[in-house]
Amino acid sequence: FETVAAELEQQGFVRGCPLNNLAHELSLADPDFRTALAGIFSAWRQAIADKVRADQQAGREQDTDPQRFAALAVATYSGAMSMAKTAQDSGVLRDCLNALEQGASPASSSKGEAVAKRRRRVLRQYKAF
């Protein structure tokens, strides 16, 4: 999220997420293309879920459901990119990243800060975020 927001601010405009743009434009027009797009979104979610599972095997992220977090991360990114494109403002990307990092845990608690740090590490494994 942070890297994309910084790049968008340097460019001075927001084109949106190419995958999201294709999904919005072509998912109803071409069933084969829709299937291919769904596969890309699914692979993206799976890669994030796999990273969370690896962290769990290493004793981290025990309170995180890998599939649900992956769905939330991808959906949040997709929605934030649509909003950034519409408003021509990348600030929503940072807002969403902060919300994902904090999750349901209060950021002021030491546990909440630790959770936020771990989620940030997971999200940064994927350059799109």
Residue 36 has, within 13 A of its CA and on its CB side, a CA count of 8
Instruction: Write down the pTM of the prediction.
Output: 0.74
Closest CA relative to residue 60, chosen from 116, 102, 104 = 116
Q: For 85-106, what is each residue's pLDDT tens digit?
A: 999 988 999 999 888 887 644 4
pLDDT at residue 5, as a whole number: 85
Q: For 52-76, what is each residue's pLDDT tens digit?
A: 999 999 998 888 999 999 999 999 9
Give the CA distances from residue 123 to residues 44, 62, 97, in Å, rounded to whole numbers and listed in that order: 12, 16, 9
